[in-house]
Structure 1
Amino acid sequence: MSALIEQQKDMKQPSSWQVWWRLLRPHTLTAAFVPVFIGTMLAVLDGKFHFMLFLAMMLASLFIQIATNMFNEYYDYKRGLDTAESVGIGGAIVRDGIEPKLILRLALMLFFISILLGIYISAATSWWIAVIGAISMAAGYFYTGGPYPIAYTPFGEIVSGFFMGLIIILISFYIQTGAVTTKSILISVPISILCGAILTANNIRDREGDAKSGRKTLVILLGHKNSVRFLAAMFIFSYLWVIWMIVAGYASLWLLLVFISLPKAVSATRNFIGKKQPIEMMPAMKATAQMHTHFGFLVSISLLFEYLLK
């Protein structure tokens, strides 16, 4: 009987590329590349575009996000939060046997490459970008690293939304135009909120396990039902903000394209309601990440149409 169980386990073992792909946590990478697209499209709307700066910014943002995910993997393992039974795409160490120090070294290597890309961007634009980039990288590390990880506090949504939304959009816009505008700040608001929503969805799924491990996330403080309401409120606010921008004259009617993403927001909210097991909440978590992606790309498309038809 035990031999049969072991055989079944072996049959379910993912291939090596699947293990590494899962380690990247691809559903989180939208929080890195969507803001870069939006900031760059805002610059294109102003008639400015430098491909190499765009490429460097895109790679740096992706590498920092991937490194942050790897730090999360490493420190969750070190603190005993990940087990072989944990639900989700994490757990490359406990389930797949990847050496912890290898993950840490890879994360540091990606940080180093991001620094080199940041030096190129700063030399071509402003060295203030290096300062902001260094702060962003520190936030990525201390999100799960250090003695007081941000991810274990109620401030995770604020920090992730601020750096993965507003900061990336403004840097992407600034390195192309040399300026920061009211429109670039305002359009970053819903993207920042939806970046935070990805974390909220993740924490809703992991709420019970996180509470047992001593975390004090916002979701743990609110409870399941109120957290789902909070997630829905983040979605609603993002759409209302778009309407306000159009009415106030900060955006064109093309920005209404973002409402095409509304079904994903509804799906994410509904799939959390009444669910208790982490595995049951995976579709809702996936829909939240997809909603952020669709919303962000639709913002970029609206800016492109605005540019082509002005």
Structure 2
Amino acid sequence: MTFNIRAWIVSLRLRTLPLALSTIFMGSLLASGQGCFKLSVLVWASLTTLFLQILSNLANDYGDAVSGADNAERQGPQRMIQQGVITLRQMKRAIIFTSVLALISGVTLIFNALKDQLMVLLLFFFLGISALVAAIRYTVGKNPYGYRGLGDFFVFVFFGLLGVGGTYYLHAGIWNWSVLLPAFSIGAFSTGVLNLNNIRDIQSDDKSGKKTLPVMMGRKMAAFYHLALLLLGWGAFIVWLLNYEQANTGAWLVILAFPLFVFNAIAVFRFKAPLAGLDKQLRNLSLGTLLMVVLYGIGSFLI
């Protein structure tokens, strides 16, 4: 089988990458506000999270193809293994290659940031390995956690609490509990993106035995769950602004992104069939989250 560049670009799912960068950018902005910004941390953390996100995407394709979750009834875009353009063997090699890149990038990141803090360095190494394993085990293996409704929890933790909080620590070298508020926001919005993906695939997932939260709670409750994620995410960020950005009125520029989240929530309730129409909203929420982070940065440092 010949190498198909377009097929691999599709498999990378480039539209998911802005969401991954939102995590790193938010942690970096929080550190910069404390005068602790390090360019090397931003660069290596961005590379590491991009590799991990791509790894997760490739592993998801591989795992769903093996389990049968990617089938003719799936509502979303057809995957390249599903179409027979990429073989399972090729995808497995790509997963191994991307894992190596993520490991190299991650080790470089934590060594440059924490070489004088051995115990903390070892902790971050363990967390990095955990993130790598989590990216693969979402749909791959004998008992993938994504098939047991646990994907939302892992996304919230790794994209939110650990992603944002960990990035902040790598910049600052100290911990600040208050950063968990914006970390909660990014985690909630990231979980919302996964929820949209699972609502879209609810029918095929149910028939293939993939027990995501929407499969377990039903289409209607999944929409209310999505609304709760968006409201809680914004609520946490507004609490952050009210308590820790009193003297920084420019930070409220983030409110300009709020209508995008409103439209997203409305769309989830309105879409009935075909659910493939939700695919656009998945992209919109990902870009909306990144826009929120960018607006926060612009408002905090340029206004």
Alignment match, 2:138: 143
> SS in structure 2 opposite 1:248?
helix
Contact conserved, 2:76 with 2:201, CA < 8 A, in 1?
A: no
The one-letter amino acid of 2:151's match is G
Q: Aligned-pair distance for 1:286?
A: 2.7
Alignment match, 2:239: 244
Residues 55-66 of structure 1 aligned to structure 2 (within 5 Å)? 55-66=43-54
What do the CA deviations read for 1:110-164 (whole angstroms, capped 9, x no partner)?
1111111222223221232211101111111111112221211222111111101
Which of 225, 230, 233 is 2:225 aligned to? 230
Alignment match, 1:258: 254
How far apart are the structure 1 equivalents of 2:38 and 2:190? 26
Identify unmatched segments of 5+ residues in structure 1: 1-14
Q: Aligned-pair distance for 1:206?
A: 0.6
Alignment match, 1:11: none
Q: Comparing 174-183 with 280-289, which one deviates more in the overlay? A: 280-289
Q: Aligned-pair distance for 1:36?
A: 0.6
Which of 280, 285, 303 is 1:283 aligned to? 280
Residues 1-310 of structure 1 aligned to structure 2 (within 5 Å)? 16-83=4-71, 86-95=74-83, 97-124=85-112, 125=114, 126-249=121-244, 252-272=248-268, 273-305=270-302
The one-letter amino acid of 1:103's match is M
How far apart are the structure 2 equivalents of 1:216 and 1:81? 11
Q: Aligned-pair distance for 1:98?
A: 0.9
Q: Percent identity?
A: 24
Q: Aligned-pair distance for 1:191?
A: 0.5
Contact conserved, 2:16 with 2:283, CA < 8 A, in 1?
A: no
User: TM-score, normalised to structure 1's length?
Assistant: 0.87
Contact conserved, 2:148 with 2:210, CA < 8 A, in 1?
A: yes
How far apart are the structure 1 equivalents of 2:78 and 2:257? 27
Contact conserved, 1:34 with 1:296, CA < 8 A, in 2?
A: yes
Q: Aligned-pair distance for 1:20?
A: 2.0
Q: Aligned-pair distance for 1:201?
A: 0.5
Contact conserved, 1:83 with 1:95, CA < 8 A, in 2?
A: no
How far apart are the structure 1 equivalents of 2:203 and 2:74? 12
Q: Comparing 276-285 with 69-78, which one deviates more in the overlay? A: 276-285
How far apart are the structure 1 equivalents of 2:167 and 2:128? 12
> SS in structure 1 opposite 2:211?
coil
Aligned-residue CA RMSD in angstroms?
2.1
The one-letter amino acid of 1:281's match is L
Relative to 1, partners in 2 of residues 1:277 and 1:216: Cα closer, same or farther, differing over 3 Å? same
Count residues with an aligned counterpart: 292
What do the CA deviations read for 1:166-192 (whole angstroms, capped 9, x no partner)?
211122111111112123222101101
Q: Aligned-pair distance for 1:95?
A: 1.6
Q: Aligned-pair distance for 1:211?
A: 0.7
The one-letter amino acid of 2:56's match is T
User: TM-score, normalised to structure 2's length?
Assistant: 0.89
What do the CA deviations read for 1:8-63 (whole angstroms, capped 9, x no partner)?
xxxxxxx9443222101122222321111111111211222322232111111100
The one-letter amino acid of 2:126's match is V
Rg larger for:
1
How far apart are the structure 1 equivalents of 2:226 and 2:62? 28
The one-letter amino acid of 1:301's match is I
What do the CA deviations read for 1:216-238 (whole angstroms, capped 9, x no partner)?
21111221111111111211222
> SS in structure 1 opposite 2:82?
coil
